[in-house]
Amino acid sequence: MQTDQKHFIFRLGEFVKFSHTIFALPFALISAMVACGGRIPLRLFGLVLVCMAAARTGAMCFNRLADWEIDQQNPRTSGRHRLIKKEQGWAVMAVSLVVFFFATWNINPLCFYLSPLMVAVILSYSLMKRFTAVPHLFLGLALGLAPMGAWAAVTGELYSAKPYMLAASVVCWTFGFDLIYATLDVESDRKAGLLSFPAKYGIPAALRLARILHYIAFAGFLAFGWMARLGGLYAVACLVVVAGLFQEHRYAKQVDTAAINKAFFHSNALVSISLLAGVFLDLCLKKIF
């Protein structure tokens, strides 16, 4: 029985790509650390982690369930439906969203009142390929909510411009890397009658737009650092971000599944973790001196 449970947890982790939580979670922590000056109360830190994990798990379950039949026709995703049963996916999604709402209720009224809107946004991405050629923007909006929610969790308000700048940068960064990832599914999307920017406008146009968005994102990360009065260690982290984005676009030119998968995970993880490390070290240094 225990072995079966372990296998289910591993299959579920693969089903929702739990490892990809590393993209959004660092930005929630960055926002929370800047909002509280580097010292996040342990209880609040735990609740933010629960919110992030629960919201993303619920959203990814919905994504897989909404595309259940479509994914079976795509060679890249044809094995997803074998990982868990459909009814298990619905159950995990329901439990995840209940946990998310409960966690926001335990943080503060603002987070709880905004939680239905946040759920609507993070679930909407899964349906956008049916209506617009820029579903990647909606994924960006979903990830951009992470720093907004974390700021609201710490401060109980959203009057500062800082979380908006960080969120806008995350939107552009996510929009860009999802454009690159979508180049893998151009033919499958066209056959299924689905919309995506690469499927409608072609891969070269998608890669050009991704570069532009990443230039904007990088400028936004710099602007956030200036607004938050972060110093040299954050600047070093931004240089690492440049290297990560450069590597991602170098791999993207190959339009190869293995290369783009490497770019998608490793390069983007480098971006988010480097910025988190830069903020953490910079705030720690300020406290010492």
> The domain that contains 240 carries what CATH number?
1.10.357.140
pLDDT confidence of 288, banded at 50, 70, 90?
A: low
Task: Please determine, for residue 37, whether its predicted confidence score (pLDDT) is greater than 70.
Answer: yes
Q: How many CB atoms lie within 10 A of CB 249?
A: 17
Long-range contacts of 86-90 (CB under 8 A, 24+ apart): 88/8, 88/12, 89/15, 89/61, 89/64, 89/65, 90/61, 90/65
Q: What is the mean pLDDT of the chain?
A: 89
What's the pLDDT score for residue 247?
A: 86
CA distance 289 to 287: 6
pLDDT tens-place string over residues 71-98: 788 877 777 777 888 899 999 999 999 9
Task: Please determine, for residue 4, whether its predicted confidence score (pLDDT) is greater than 80.
Answer: no
Half-sphere exposure (Cβ direction) of 180: Cα atoms closer than 13 Å? 34
Domain that residue 75 falls in: 2-288
CA distance 208 to 190: 20
For the chain, the domain total comes to: 1
Give Cα 238 distance to the centre of its chain: 19
CB-based burial of residue 4 (10 Å sphere; 0-12 exposed, 13-18 middle, 19+ buried)? exposed
